[in-house]
Amino acid sequence: MKTMKTFIAIFALVASANVAMASGNLRVDILPINTERAVVAISSNSASQYEISIKDATGEVIYYKETEGTTSDYRKIFDFSKLEAGDYSVVASINGETSVRNFTIGQEIAVGNMSYVVDPVFSFDENILRVSFLNYPGEEVSLHVYDGNELIYSKSIENSFAVNEGLNLSKLAGGNYQVVLATANDVFDYSISK
């Protein structure tokens, strides 16, 4: 009976992963098998090398793996029986894209929502700083420019999906500057030299 439940669970996971392939580039799914074990499935549209981690509610990494070689599907059965009751997340990253699936361990394994983040694209050419960011979570975004520890520019950007900013930095003196794009959950930085 246990083998049959595992087979049905893995079949359902494969079917949901195939649907996921049509809806997004990087997807993380968690399918509970029982109160202590679950299948973690990660899929993408193209074969890649994945970085996979499991974090607790404080952000501490309790599991980390880089897949060997490239694959478009990764599946593993995890035994969560040694983990304390609480909130956790599975984080998968490939080529500047990250998907996070939250889950809670209690009387059972409860699977939460998935969030998706793509790293912003920064460029600096002819004194023009360009920043492009797809704001999948719809969070408020802020852009900051630092000269060492001194904040010299700051802008709050509405929670629009597509963030595109351009700054003319021709009036800045020669030197090294740090550009920071921050959301509620992520911080991205970029160094420029004039």
Q: Cα 81 vs. chain centroid, distance in angstroms? A: 25
Q: Is the pTM of this model over 0.85?
A: no
The last residue of one of the domains, among 88, 117, 146, is 117
Tell me the average pLDDT across 24-36.
Answer: 88
Residues 30 and 100 placed together within one structural domain of the fold: yes
Residues 113 and 29 placed together within one structural domain of the fold: yes
Position 33 pLDDT exceeds 50:
yes
pLDDT of residue 23: 36
pLDDT digits (tens, 9 = 90+) for 166-188: 999 999 999 999 999 998 778 99
Closest CA to 164 of 124, 143, 133: 133
% helix, strand, coil for the chain, step of 5: 10, 60, 30
CATH number at residue 38: 2.60.40.3080
Residues 61 and 156 placed together within one structural domain of the fold: no
Spatial separation of the C-alpha atoms in residues 61 and 64, rounded to whole Å: 7
The last residue of one of the domains, among 99, 117, 135, is 117
Residues 104 and 154 placed together within one structural domain of the fold: no
Residues 12 and 81 placed together within one structural domain of the fold: yes
- Which range scores top for mean pLDDT: 8-12, 13-17, 23-27, 77-81? 77-81
Measured in residues, the chain has a length of: 194
Residues 16 and 70 placed together within one structural domain of the fold: yes
Residues 163 and 77 placed together within one structural domain of the fold: no
Are the beta carbons of 38 and 31 closer than 8 angstroms?
yes
Residues 85 and 175 placed together within one structural domain of the fold: no
Structural domains counted in the chain: 2
Give the pLDDT band (50/70/90) at residue 19. Answer: very low
Closest CA to 41 of 85, 75, 13: 75
Q: What is the DSSP letter of 64?
A: E
What's the domain range around 140? 121-193
Tokens standing for residue 79: 């035994």
Residue where the block lists tokens 């074969």: 47
Residues 6 and 35 placed together within one structural domain of the fold: yes
Give the pLDDT band (50/70/90) at residue 21. Answer: very low
Q: Return the number of other C-beta atoms located less than 10 Å from residue 166's C-beta.
A: 10
pLDDT digits (tens, 9 = 90+) for 40-73: 999 988 888 899 999 999 989 999 999 888 888 9
pLDDT of residue 22: 33
Backbone angles phi, psi at 177, to 5 degrees: -130, 155
Residues 110 and 140 placed together within one structural domain of the fold: no
Residues 55 and 138 placed together within one structural domain of the fold: no
pLDDT digits (tens, 9 = 90+) for 67-108: 888 888 999 999 999 999 999 999 999 888 889 999 999 999
The last residue of one of the domains, among 117, 138, 155, is 117
Residues 71 and 12 placed together within one structural domain of the fold: yes
